[in-house]
Every structure is written in C-alpha cells, then in structure tokens.
C-alpha cells in the first residue's frame, strides 16, 4: 500500500498550474498509489485536476477525487483508487479556515490535514490534533499531511509516530520535506520536516522523500506500508 502526501503550494504566481497538475498525474501513473493527499490546493488547480481524473485523461488507472469545498481559497484533497465517500471537517479551533479530510477505505481510515501555521500557534495545533483523534478513536488510521510542527516536542497524540527523518529510504542524506538547501522554491534558510505520517497500525513501512518533484516549496513524501499479522 502506497500513500503520498504533498503540500502543492497555493501561490497563484508560483509555478504554472498545468505543470503541477501534470506532475501529479505522472506520480499517479508511476506509482501504484492507494491514496494521494494534497494540501494547499487552489480552485483553479482543482478544476483542472478534476477534469483529468474524472475523464481519465492521461491516466493508466481510474481514480476518484474528493469534492471541491466552497468558501475557502485553498484546501486539502484526497485522491484514491477505490470509491468511497469523503468527509471534510472544519476545525473548531482555526483562524485560517483549516480542516481535515477523511475517507474510510476497506478497514482503514485515511485522514489528510493541514494544521494551523506559524510557531505561535502550537496550542491551536494541539487542539486540532485532539479534534482529529476524537473523530477517529475506533479504527485503524493513517494520518498525514502538513503538520506545521515547528517545535521538536510537538507530537500527534498517542499514535505511533513514523519518524521518517531517521528511517526514510532516500538517496540524498539530510533531506527535509521543506528544504531550502535542495529546493529552490523553499524560502532560505529554512529546512524542516513539516510533512509527516502517523498511524496506529502495526506494520512494516518505508518512507521516501521524492526530491525530484520540485514544483512546490515542499517535496512530496510517500509511505509504503505492509500490514503485519499480530
């Protein structure tokens, strides 16, 4: 099972939207993706991506994409290979219109999110984590996205943290998901692991930071997970 998470960046003048959409399509074709979570998707990018996915333009397999929300300038998106409804839940504690997007596929809940930004919002992020954990307290879950953790002590509740900063399978050492040293789009001098995976599933896993995909200020990350029988 492969899951990808990518903050695609919401800047309208950043990189051509068609280039971003094409790179997402190429990732879907290249990798047998089970779920693909995107953060900071703007409506224009969503519309083009929706057309490509719904009409299967240039895609090897069929995918579904979560509905476009209204009233926000950018948002999270889930793309998955199986048909299942998604639920977009706005955080009670947010000043930035943030939410978490949920989908249950087979026996696992997949949740992608973009937690509140900036160092001063640690307490808000903590409250948002509590909201997610209260929503999903009975099911195996994989939670992923841009966590915006700026403090080394920030954690995602009691779920096991997959620490890809030590275990990712990537040829380049000392790589971060937001890495101004390797990604010309990132703002120097910042290098940080803002994008993360969490799960309560007992499994074997590897995580890769896909540094060749550089049309955002974040690199995409990919989790490969193989369930282990207890």
Task: Name the band, by pLDDT with cuts 50, 70 and 90, for residue 160.
Answer: confident
Angstrom distance (rounded) from CA 199 to CA 156:
9
Q: CA 154 to CA 206: how far, in whole Å?
A: 22
Query: In the numeric block, which tokens belong to residue 146?
Result: 């841009």
pLDDT at residue 94 greater than cutoff 90: yes
The residue that leads in pLDDT, 48 or 105, is: 48
pLDDT of residue 12: 64
What CATH topology corresponds to 2-227?
Answer: Deoxyribonuclease I; Chain A (3.60.10)
Nearby residues of 42 by Cβ (< 8 Å), 6 or more positions away: 10, 12, 17, 73, 74
Asked if residue 68 lies in contact with residue 50, where contact means CB atoms within 8 angstroms, the answer is yes
Give the chain's mean pLDDT.
88
> Is residue 27 pLDDT above 90, yes or no?
yes
Q: Report residue 135: phi and psi, to 5°.
A: -65, -40
Q: Tell me the whole-structure pTM to 2 decimals.
A: 0.92
CA 156 to chain centre: 15
- Domain extents for the chain? 2-227
Instruction: Dig out the tokens for 191 from the structure.
Output: 């290098």
**Regarding predicted confidence, which is higher, 151 or 63?**
63
Residue 189: band (very low, low, confident or very high) from pLDDT cuts 50, 70, 90: very high
């Amino acid at each position: 099972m492969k899951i990808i998470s990518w903050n695609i960046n919401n800047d309208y003048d950043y990189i051509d939207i068609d280039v971003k959409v094409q790179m997402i399509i190429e990732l879907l074709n290249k990798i047998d993706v089970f779920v693909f979570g995107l953060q900071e998707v703007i409506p224009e990018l969503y519309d083009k991506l929706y057309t490509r996915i719904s009409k299967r333009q240039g895609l090897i397999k069929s995918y579904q994409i979560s509905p476009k929300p209204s009233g926000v300038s950018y948002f999270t998106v889930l793309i998955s290979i199986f048909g299942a409804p998604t639920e977009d839940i706005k955080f009670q504690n947010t000043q930035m219109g943030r939410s978490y997007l949920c989908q249950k596929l087979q026996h696992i809940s997949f949740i992608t999110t973009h937690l509140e930004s900036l160092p001063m919002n640690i307490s808000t992020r903590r409250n948002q984590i509590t909201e997610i954990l209260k929503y999903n307290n009975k099911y195996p879950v994989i939670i992923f996205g841009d966590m915006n953790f700026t403090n080394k002590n920030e954690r995602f509740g009691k779920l096991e943290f997959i620490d890809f900063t030590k275990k990712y399978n990537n040829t380049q050492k000392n790589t971060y998901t937001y890495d101004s040293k390797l990604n010309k789009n990132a703002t120097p001098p910042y290098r940080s692991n803002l994008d993360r995976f969490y799960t309560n599933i007992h499994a074997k896993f590897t995580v890769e930071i896909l540094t060749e995909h550089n049309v955002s200020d974040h690199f995409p990350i990919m989790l490969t997970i193989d369930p282990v029988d207890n």
